[in-house]
Amino acid sequence: MTALAGVRRGIPDNDAVALLREMLTVPSFSFRERPLARYLAEAMTGLGIPARIDASGNVIGEVGRGAGPYVLLVGHLDTVPGTVAVRRVGDRLYGRGAADAKGPLAAMIVAAARYPDFPGRLVVAGAVEEETPGSGGAVHLRRSLARPDAVIVGEPGGWSNLVIGYKGRLDLFYRIRQPGSHPTRPTRTAVESAAEFWGQTAAEFDPGGHSHFDQPGLTLHCMSGDMEMAELAMCFRTPPGYDVPGLVDRLRARAQGADLEVVHEVGAVLADRRNPAARALSAAIRRQGGTPAVKVKTATSDMNTLAAVWRTPMVTYGPGNSHMDHTPNEHIEIRDYLSGAAVLDGALHELAETLPAAGRGETAGTTRDVTA
């Protein structure tokens, strides 16, 4: 696997498609993203975006000059497991990650390559571990980089849409151990206690909560046990403003002495739909002949992780149909991918002209509100 050879600055559409296809041929399941990071470090440098791999495995490229705004584009390298044969069928490009989210990341790289003289600082980051609860790559970015003046997170939403909100995530692990007893005795077994805990918890929440942004959703990931030991792993998706500490307190009381561990927690995020990043993307979508639509999602993304620390204009954008995420038929429409790259290019020009460089010099890692 080699980087694209002889690609000129300004990367034409054919080479933009070739870049994405090459990315799709490099498997990059969570915790195994290094080969793709190496490929992109070489490819991005060849496109005029000097790139490196940071301590967490993220690939970081940077262009620009002058004292203008500092803009960060963040996609993710990792995909869920599974193989989708890389192939082009008409206007569709198939492969694991075509939609989620190598397509959005490739569009960001193309846009940056088309604007090497960005009048400020333009950073493109491919983050590791987005598909895992810990979002390790995004956590490292917010610790190691200064706060940008604007952030665009790459996720599939359709080339004419932008996403301003995501639910939060709370992962919990329940464990109970108790002395064994004979099966004929009327003593409650560990697995019965776990089943009762789950039944009471599930009954508290509307089964349709995952379909509504303003309601919590609950999923049981796994359950195992016997008479002496039982375990549950569950995940809540929480809306903005939800009382997560109160929820944990109620569940601990319900557990009646069993262990209840908070494995991972990230708050919901809801950005101002009029923030500069959202406005720049909306204007660029209109210039490409589209009608911008603003959406919220009931899942979680690296936007949650970054917004927990950085109070800065932020939005999620990317070509691709999110209904293709994680499916055996994952693909992206090439027209949408190229339109997405053009929209990002236009948005960067808009931000260069309108965004003040307000955040330059702020120490990385400063704690901020959850709302972007």
Helix (H) or strand (E) holding 220: strand 217-225
Active site residues: 78, 130
**Confidence at residue 185, expressed as pLDDT on a 0 to 100 scale:** 63
- Fold type of domain 168-266: Alpha-Beta Plaits (3.30.70)
Closest CA to 262 of 131, 134, 129, 80: 134
**Confidence at residue 184, expressed as pLDDT on a 0 to 100 scale:** 63
Percent of the chain with pLDDT over 70: 92
What average pLDDT does the structure give for the chain?
92
86 has pLDDT over 80: yes
What 3-state DSSP class applies to 192?
helix
How confident is the model over 307-315, as a mean pLDDT? 96
For the stretch 114-157, pLDDT in tens is 999 999 999 999 999 999 988 999 999 999 999 999 999 999 99
Distances (CA, A) of 224 to 133, 192, 318: 21, 11, 39
How far apart are alpha carbons 98 and 252 in whole angstroms?
41
Whole-model pTM? Answer: 0.90
Residue 358 banded pLDDT, cuts 50, 70, 90: low
363 has pLDDT over 90: no
Residue 365 banded pLDDT, cuts 50, 70, 90: very low
**Helix, strand, coil % over all residues of the chain, rounded to 5:** 30, 25, 45
Q: Is the dihedral of CA 24, 27, 31, 35 positive or negative?
A: negative
182 has pLDDT over 50: yes
Tokens representing 138?
């995004």
Place of tokens 């016997």: 226
How far apart are alpha carbons 42 and 40 in whole angstroms?
5
Residue 178 banded pLDDT, cuts 50, 70, 90: confident
How confident is the model over 243-264, as a mean pLDDT? 96
Do 13-166+268-354 and 168-266 come out as alike in CATH topology?
no
262 has pLDDT over 60: yes
CATH of span 13-166+268-354: 3.40.630.10
Distances (CA, A) of 317 to 16, 43, 223: 18, 22, 36
CB neighbour burial string for 67-95, b if at least 16 within 10 angstroms, e if fewer: ebbbbbbbbbbbbeeeebebeeeeebbbb
338 has pLDDT over 50: yes
Distances (CA, A) of 86 to 235, 263, 330: 32, 35, 10
- AA identity, residue 98: A
How confident is the model over 227-233, as a mean pLDDT? 95
Tokens representing 311?
């109070």
Domain boundaries, the chain: 13-166+268-354, 168-266
How far apart are alpha carbons 237 and 217 in whole angstroms?
5
Percent of the chain with pLDDT over 90: 86
Residue 41 banded pLDDT, cuts 50, 70, 90: very high
How far apart are alpha carbons 79 and 308 in whole angstroms?
23
How confident is the model over 219-241, as a mean pLDDT? 96
How confident is the model over 330-349, as a mean pLDDT? 98
